[in-house]
Amino acid sequence: PQPTNRKKNPKSRQETMEDEILVTNDDGDVMDIEDKQVDDQEEASASKPQTSLSKSFAIRTRHDATFTGGKVTHCYTTGLETTGDDDAERRPFLVLPVGGDLAFVDAKRGTSLGSVRGLANGTVGEDDNDQVDMDAITVHALSYNDQILMTCSHNNIIRQYSVEKLPSKEGENKVASVVSLTKNWGKSGHALPTTLMQFHLSNVFLATGSVDGTSRIWDVRGGYMTHVFRPYESVDGGGSGRLSVTAVEWLPNLQNLVVAVGRDDGSIAIHNLRHDNQVTLLHEHVSAVVGIQWPLNHDKVKLFVTTGRDSVINLWRMEDNGKLKQSDKKVQKKKKSRNSKNERTGGYSRIQTLPIYEPVEGLVILPPTTPSQQELLVATAGGKGRVRVWKCDASMTDPKLELLEEQPVNQSFSEERGGYLTMIYRGPHKLVESMRMVDEQLIVADAEHNLHFLSLLGRHDLTTKQAELLSSKSRTMVGHNDDILDLKAIPSGAEGVLAERIVVATNSSQVRIFDLASFSSHVLDGHSKTVLCVDVSPCGRFLATCGKDKEMRLWHADSMQCVAIAVGHAEAVGSVALSRQVGRYNVKGKAAINGGGSFAVTVSADRTLKRWNLPGAQPLVEAASTEEELSLKSLVSARAHEKDINVVSVAPNDSLVATGSQDKTIKIWNSSDLRLKGTLSGHRRGVWDCQFSPFDRVLASAGGDKTVKLWSLSDFSCVRNFQGHLSSVLRVRFLNCGMQLASSGADGLIKVYTIRTNECETTLDAHDDKAWALDLSSDGRTIISGGADSRILVWEDTTQQVAEIENAKREEALMLEQKLANHLRHKEYYEALELTLELDKPRQALKAFTAIIESSVEGGKDGIEPLKDIARRWSDERLTKVLQYCREWNTRSRNCHVALLVVRSIVSTIPIHKLADIEGVPEIMAGIMSYSERHFERLDRLYESSFLIEFVLGSMGTFGSNRSRDPDDFAAWEASSKLVLPPVGVDGRIQIGGRAVVGASSANVQKSMEEENDSDDVPIIGDSSDDESDSGSSSSEGSSRENSIK
């Protein structure tokens, strides 16, 4: 549909004037905002920019599910090196478990770099059955040099992988495998699944722990087991049975092979691998032990820290004597005094038990800033969702842990939401001279699979009175989004500039704001139930969210503070839309309260439509600075539909509001008083989305009947119907200045339609589940989509790039054809063949082979010899390619002769054992043989049929004659005989022995036939006895006729 000129339509102008709103500005002057909007729309329609159509899209960046809970590992060195660059950079990475796989994630951008099994990138489909995936990875360990990755799967098979380089930047958005399988160790020997795995600092030994209560030590160099540690009898005399191993930790020392194993009953066994009979048993925890740590400078700070789910931290002092032996267990049991303040247990004496009143899930001892430092800093994270740092002075005779700092409440992850599940330290794992230039971080994983990066840059100036260790949280990386229900691009402020941030509503009460450059996120926490819809103001300063808690909240985008709340719906609020005119947000005071400023409209499952007047940008910004939440009031409300309302949309000039419902209708409302103006009926199922065109007076709708419809706002009729989706269409957007439509559906497909031609230009298939969310960036050509597969995709318009590539290919093809023709014209067949094989052009290669064979035959040589000379110079890859060509050529009878000659030249030149060793050649030869047998059978039939012709020709040579068969008789007969029918020449063609001339016109054929009938020289074959009797011809005439026939 073409833009409507509203000045030439008095009726439309009158309807518009009925909806005008008179407001006053700050000076008290009356402003006719509706007139100004109409003029602006007319001017915009008249000056509608001319843009090209989009026909191709490619994924520019993506955010996949990269973490679904489990062990988090950060690279210990500077990261992975990239290939393909002159100045190769190193990129730090994380190894994260996701859905039975391990994902390598860029630690800075949060994007997936590859995976071990391919499941994390969608290259391997999920099992449709509900059976347990026995190859699912349950635990992993990364060596301290970032070169070896060990994994153990659900079936207890241990595999060793080599960590490789990353692909170059040109392919960074492609699915890449950054590991290669080095060795399969086989079964781990554990009776139950393996849950823990840890490398020694030397990268030579590996410790594993299982649910069966055993811990095993492995030699990585040989892949064999060296030690098995089983749970010992409890100190209190009770049997231990099968106690799950919950913690495994090595002493951070290259020379000493000491490993500590914590179990579910609260016991800790410290084993010395160099002395098998030296075992230290600690029984001071009453629940599962989850944290065991030695300081890096343990030779100077002889302290040992343990913690668990019993909500206490135990501080131990290490001593060189008093090691417990297995034979002395009973003696130690009798001497044990539980009332002693400093209790000795095999070289470790407990000096403090600190209750912290939360189950601890993560324990980290921060490395000293200098090797001589005597202070011990311990960080803990647990069920309360707050990171706490404890300080201890090891130089004191009776050191005690004291709380140094606690994570601020506004940055913590509340206990109601699940708290923290694990914590690791990112930094050096060996002593350094100074830590001031080291970027240290604590990485904490919460119950919603988010990774929080806490910077530790301020810990070098820590004092007891002033602590700034956890004052800032650098960023948050989202590992799993769950279902993405809605998203909107936040405008950057400039027209036509790509949006840098998006606001996303997931299947939770939180709203996340993603940075598209790094995919780091910030959380808007305010709703008490699941958020269903989000919207963004055209200026990009304000966000609107609504959900199942029956509220609509307005947020300031920069400060991320809630500035206003709208309460009034009786059921869940399903959709919200903000006014689209930027100028309205500058209106304030009474004019804004009376409806002259910006506004928001909401729809709910209670089937009502409400309008909320906003107080203006300045009061909202002031509320954000004071952290005050304003209360919005609904002055206008209407019962809009008979069933649940799914969507609400505002026109670009703020004059109209459209709602779509499950009652299969779309209704158009006046935005000022919510007066019904028209109803659009035509969908056979519920309407999921509707959007106004930015330039034309049309509206697009998406319905559950798998169609997208385009409606005229002049007469409310359907003018276009777009089909193609295999399931319900969930979202629709205008792109390229309203000339095209983009839609997403429950089939996971995104389709782009051209309105004028009613055709689907392209289909984007990258979602594995329903594509609930779809929006456009500020440039109007970049598509952002999200779905139930927890995937966010940013699609870039590549129409121009694809056209340039196609033009380049056409130019290259023309140049190739010309160059090949030049070679063939100058009879440079060998150069032509090499050119075609190098560029992988099988059709031109066939021409070159045919020319080589024909030139050899014309020169009086055998056509096979030149091919043999060429085949001798081919490499294995070239031989495989040529045989593949021959297999394709051999499928057609017209090309089989050349194909078989080439195959003969290869098999007669290259030794058979060499051909058999080339990968893929035996399979190719099997395909050639099957068609060759058919060709030989066809030639045999043709050869047999040739005997019939020979017999007929031989019989014709002796017809009517009883003379002896002398070879000279046939030559004499041929010289003296005439053809039965004379040759007919028409249009340069000659037809012998027939009247139908192929390729001749009917007029020429008729003329030739008349000339033939007029000729007296054509004899007639038949019974001539009657003619002879009637004409009285003599016998001599009959004999002469007989001779002429012969």
With a CB cutoff of 8 Å and minimum separation 6, the contacts of 13 are: 6, 7, 38
Q: Output the pLDDT for position 127.
A: 42
Mean pLDDT on 207-228? 92
Helix (H, G, I), strand (E, B) or coil at 45: helix
Beta strands, E only, 201-358: 205-210, 215-219, 224-229, 245-250, 258-263, 267-272, 279-283, 289-293, 303-308, 312-318, 343-345, 348-355
Who wins on pLDDT, 538 or 1031?
538
Among candidates 811, 784, 779, which has minimal Cα distance to 795? 784
Token pair listed for 1016: 């007296």
The answer to whether the CB of 802 falls within 8 A of the CB of 53 is no
Q: Output the pLDDT for position 676.
A: 93
Give residue-wise pLDDT tens across range 393-406. Answer: 888 888 899 998 88
User: What is the pLDDT confidence band of residue 997, given thresholds at 50, 70 and 90?
Assistant: very low
For residues 185 and 871, what is the distance between their CA atoms, to the nearest angstrom? Answer: 44
Percent of the chain predicted with pLDDT > 90: 34
Kindly state the greatest CA–CA separation across the chain. Answer: 156
Q: Output the pLDDT for position 468.
A: 60
Who wins on pLDDT, 182 or 84?
182
Mean pLDDT on 499-518? 87
Angle in degrees, 0-180, between the axes of helices 921-957 and 896-907, rounded to the nearest 10: 120
Give residue-wise pLDDT tens across range 354-381. Answer: 999 999 999 999 888 777 778 888 999 9
Under DSSP, the state recorded for 127 is: P
User: Would you say residue 6 has pLDDT above 60?
Assistant: no
User: Would you say residue 38 has pLDDT above 80?
Assistant: no
User: What is the pLDDT confidence band of residue 559, given thresholds at 50, 70 and 90?
Assistant: confident
Give residue-wise pLDDT tens across range 263-275. Answer: 998 999 999 888 8
Residue 973 CA: distances (Å) to CA of 659, 959, 962, 993:
99, 11, 14, 18
Give residue-wise pLDDT tens across range 871-908. Answer: 888 888 888 999 999 999 988 888 888 899 999 999 98
Among candidates 640, 718, 629, which has minimal Cα distance to 674? 640
Who wins on pLDDT, 700 or 930?
700
For the whole prediction, is pTM greater than 0.75?
no
Q: Output the pLDDT for position 695.
A: 87
User: Would you say residue 241 has pLDDT above 70?
Assistant: no
User: Would you say residue 996 has pLDDT above 50?
Assistant: no
* Range among 4-13, 98-107, 698-707, 930-939 rated most confident: 698-707
Angle ∠(524,528,533) on CA atoms, nearest 5:
60
* Range among 39-48, 323-332, 347-356, 486-495 rated most confident: 347-356
User: Would you say residue 623 has pLDDT above 60?
Assistant: yes
User: What is the pLDDT confidence band of residue 89, given thresholds at 50, 70 and 90?
Assistant: low
Q: Output the pLDDT for position 683.
A: 93
CA 218 from chain center: how many Å? 37
The answer to whether the CB of 233 falls within 8 A of the CB of 239 is yes
Token pair listed for 535: 């919207």
User: Would you say residue 680 has pLDDT above 60?
Assistant: yes
User: What is the pLDDT confidence band of residue 238, given thresholds at 50, 70 and 90?
Assistant: very low
Cβ atoms within 10 Å of 322's Cβ, excluding its own = 13
Positive or negative torsion for Cα 591, 595, 601, 607: positive
Q: Output the pLDDT for position 435.
A: 54
Under DSSP, the state recorded for 498 is: P
Who wins on pLDDT, 469 or 90?
90
Mean pLDDT on 8-29? 38
Q: Output the pLDDT for position 460.
A: 56
Cβ atoms within 10 Å of 421's Cβ, excluding its own = 21
Token pair listed for 433: 């001279």
Q: Output the pLDDT for position 114.
A: 83
H-run or E-run covering 420: strand 420-426
Q: Output the pLDDT for position 988.
A: 54
Round the average pLDDT of the chain to a whole number and report it: 79
For residues 209 and 288, what is the distance between their CA atoms, to the nearest angstrom? Answer: 14
Long-range contacts of 423-426 (CB under 8 A, 24+ apart): 423/361, 423/362, 423/363, 423/364, 423/379, 423/380, 423/381, 423/387, 424/72, 424/73, 424/74, 424/362, 424/364, 425/364, 425/366, 425/367, 425/379, 426/74, 426/453
Q: Output the pLDDT for position 753.
A: 95
Task: Please state whether 76 falls in left (phi above 0), alpha (psi between -120 and 50) or beta.
Answer: alpha
User: Would you say residue 698 has pLDDT above 90?
Assistant: yes
Q: Output the pLDDT for position 463.
A: 46
For residues 136 and 119, what is the distance between their CA atoms, to the nearest angstrom? Answer: 10
Give residue-wise pLDDT tens across range 426-473. Answer: 887 766 555 555 678 889 999 888 888 888 865 655 544 444 666 566
For residues 718 and 698, what is the distance between their CA atoms, to the nearest angstrom? Answer: 9
User: Would you say residue 123 has pLDDT above 70?
Assistant: no
Who wins on pLDDT, 94 or 243?
94
One-letter amino acid for residue 824 of the chain: L
Who wins on pLDDT, 2 or 531?
531
- In this structure, of 78-87, 623-632, 709-718, 853-862, the range with the lowest mean pLDDT score is 78-87
User: Would you say residue 146 has pLDDT above 60?
Assistant: yes
Mean pLDDT on 87-105? 82
* Range among 453-457, 586-590, 789-793, 1024-1028 rated most confident: 789-793
Q: Output the pLDDT for position 236.
A: 45
For residues 137 and 71, what is the distance between their CA atoms, to the nearest angstrom? Answer: 11
Instruction: Return phi, psi of residue 916, to 5°.
Output: -65, -25
Token pair listed for 687: 């309407």
Under DSSP, the state recorded for 580 is: -
